[in-house]
Amino acid sequence: MNSFKYALAGAALALAPITAHAATITSGDSGTNYDLLADSYSFDEDFGVGTAGGTLTYTFTNNDASTAAVTFFGFSVEQNLAAFTDGVELDFGTFSADVAEGESMGANTNFFVAAGDTVTLTITYGTVFDLPPSFPSDAANIDFSIQAALVPIPAAGLLLLTALGAAGAMRRRKAAA
């Protein structure tokens, strides 16, 4: 009878409904939403000499009922042939980086976005100017990639409890025999 109960409980867990997941990004420059859980998001732009300074804003929202683990990786600022006046500042809430004028830098970081929360990435950069020696096609570059995955903490907890219960039942059965 007990093994039937365990089999029934295991089947119920296996057949539990799976919820839809949606973590989105809204790009401040285009207003387009991207499903981060279905695909990663990449930004790569060359800024030519004379490009005026500005700010780019990207808003990442976790519309799921679970926490999302977000990897902000491959971020780089390259100022080899041209540079940003006063450099580049990246602010991502818990992560920020300041890249000085004429310097190049890259970094990676991981963070969590709770269910229903929003995180904003703000990139502020100065006017682009030539670094010597000058070439007609000089440019400075900013790029980054974002990837997200759900953190299955509730599912892992259920699996752990099920495994502990099964181990306890097997131990009790062995002790009774």
What does the pLDDT read at residue 17?
35
Q: Which of 75-79, 93-97, 132-136, 166-170 has the lowest mean pLDDT?
A: 166-170
Would the pLDDT of 14 be above 60? no
Q: Assess if residue 157 is contained within a domain.
A: no
Domains of the chain: total: 1
143: pLDDT strictly greater than 80: yes
Task: Please report whether residue 101 resides in a domain.
Answer: yes
- The rounded distance, in Å, linking the Cα atoms of 126 and 109 is 24
Burial 139-175 (b: 16+ CB within 10 A, else e): bbbbebbbbbebeeeeeeeeeeeeeeeeeeeeeeeee
Query: Which position has the higher pLDDT, 24 or 9?
Result: 24
Looking at residue 21, what DSSP letter applies? -
Identify the CA nearest to 6 among candidates 166, 113, 144, 140: 166
Residue 173 forms part of a structural domain: no
Residue 137 lies in a domain: yes
CATH code of the domain in which 148 resides: 2.60.120
What range does the domain containing 113 cover? 21-152
Average pLDDT over residues 71-87: 86
pLDDT at 23 > cutoff 60: no
> Using one digit for the tens of pLDDT, what is the confidence trace for 38-71?
667 788 899 999 999 999 888 777 777 777 777 7
In this prediction the pTM is: 0.68
> What average pLDDT does the segment 100-118 reach?
85
Domain presence at residue 118 = yes
Rama region for 31: left / alpha / beta (φ>0; ψ in -120 to 50; rest): left
Q: Please report whether residue 82 resides in a domain.
A: yes
Residue 54 lies in a domain: yes
Strands 68-78 and 139-150: antiparallel
Cα-trace Rg, the chain: 24
